[in-house]
Chains A and B, each alone.
Chain A
C-alpha cells in the first residue's frame, strides 16, 4: 500500500487534483485580497461563493448554457459585493459582523433556493477540459498542467493580472494607498469610497466565479453548503499570502495539494480515520497562520471605516 502511495500514477493524480482544487481558492483569495488591500475585510466570502455556485448551477441546469451560468454567477457575486460595500463603506458598519451576516444570508438563501428550485442533487456537464495541442501530450507534465478546463486556467491567469493591476496601474496605486492611509488618499482627491466600492464589487465577482468553478467546472453538482467553509479558508489564505497575488497562489496551491493528498490517502485506503484526513488541510492552515501571522504586515487601515474627521 505504501508502494502504491509513491507510484508515479499516484503522484500525477495528486498533483493534477491539487492544481484543479486550487481554482476556487485562487478566485476567492485574490478577490478577498483586492478588498483587503483597500482596507475592507469581507468575511462573507463563503456566502458569496455559495450564491455564485447556486446561480451558475441553476442557470446551466435550466439552459445548458455554461457561459450564461458563469455570467449570472459573476453578477450575483458582484451584487453581494455591492451590498457588503454599502454596509461597510457607506453605513460604516462593523465589517466582521456585516461579513458574517452576508455569509449567513448566502448559506441560507442558497439552501432555500436549492430546495425550492431543485430539490434533489442533480448534475450538469461542466466546462470540459481543453486539449492544448502538443502541451497536453507531454508525458507527466501534460496531465498535471495542461488537462484542465477554462476556469482553472483563468484562476492561474488571475495571479499575474491582479499583480499587474495592484502594482503597475494608477488604480492599483489608489487601492494600496486607500488601504494604508485613506486620509492621505482623500487629501489628494482620491475617492476612498469609490475605490472601496470598486474592489469590493470586483472581489465579489471573483468570489461568485469561485463558487461557479465548483458547481459547473470541478464538481458539476450543487448541494446544500457545497463550499463547506472554503470561503473562510480563502480569507485565511489572504493573510497567509501576505496580501500579495503570488502569496495567494502559494497558499492556494499548498492548501489544495494537501487536500488532494488526503483525498488520495482515503481513495487508496491508507488506514487512518477519514475524519483525521479531512482535518489535515485545516490543521495545516492554522499551523501555518500561527507561524506567518507575525511576519507580514496588514494594510494599516484594514477593517477601519473611513470618515473625514476633525483635524
Chain B
C-alpha cells in the first residue's frame, strides 16, 4: 500500500477486527441454537418419557438400587482400587528398580494390561484362572474376584502414574535424605513417597472414577441377585419391567458419585497449581 499515512486501514470487507470477531461469535451462536432447537423439535419427547422416565417404575427401584446396587458398585470399586494401588506401587517400584529383570517384567505387565480391554481381563479372571488353578479360591468370593480383575486393570495405569510421581520429586530430596543417613528404603517411604502421592492425588482420583465405571463389567462374572451392581441391576429391571426407566435411574446414580469426585479432583488440581508459585 502506498498510502503510509493510514496504517490501520479497514480490510476489504470494510469491517474492523473487532467487528469481524463479533460477527464470527454471532454466527457460532446461531449454529449452536439451531442444532439444539432441531434436536428438541424433532425428538419424540412423549415416547421418550414413556420409555425412560416412568415415575412409578422409578419408585419401585428404591431402596434396592441404593442399598444393594450402589452399595455393591462402591464396594467393588474400592476393593479393586486398593488391590490396584498396592499392585501398582509394586510395579512402579519394579520399573524404577536397578535390577534389570524387575524393570523388564514391570514394563511387560504395564504394556499387556494397558493394551487389553478390561472386559477380556474380567473374562480371563472369571474363567481362565479358575480353570488353571482349580484348587485356588478367590478370597471373599465374587468380591475377591472383582477386586483382582479391577486391580489387575488399574494397577497398570496406576503404576505409570506412581512412577511419574516418584520421578517428579526432585533428586535433591533423595540426596538430602541419604546424606542424613536414611537407607534407600527409608528414603523412599519417609521422604519420596509422601511427596509423590501429593503430586499424583488428582490422577489417582481420576483413576477411581474410571474404576467406578469399569465395575459395571462385573456382570460378565455371573452374579447373584444380592451381588448385582448398578449397571446389571438397571439392565435386569429394565427387562423385567419392559421399560428403560431403571437404566436412566442407574445412570443418575453413577453421576451422583462421579460428578462430586470430579469436582474434588478439579479443586485439588487448582490448589496444586497455586502451590507451585
Bound pair: A and B? no
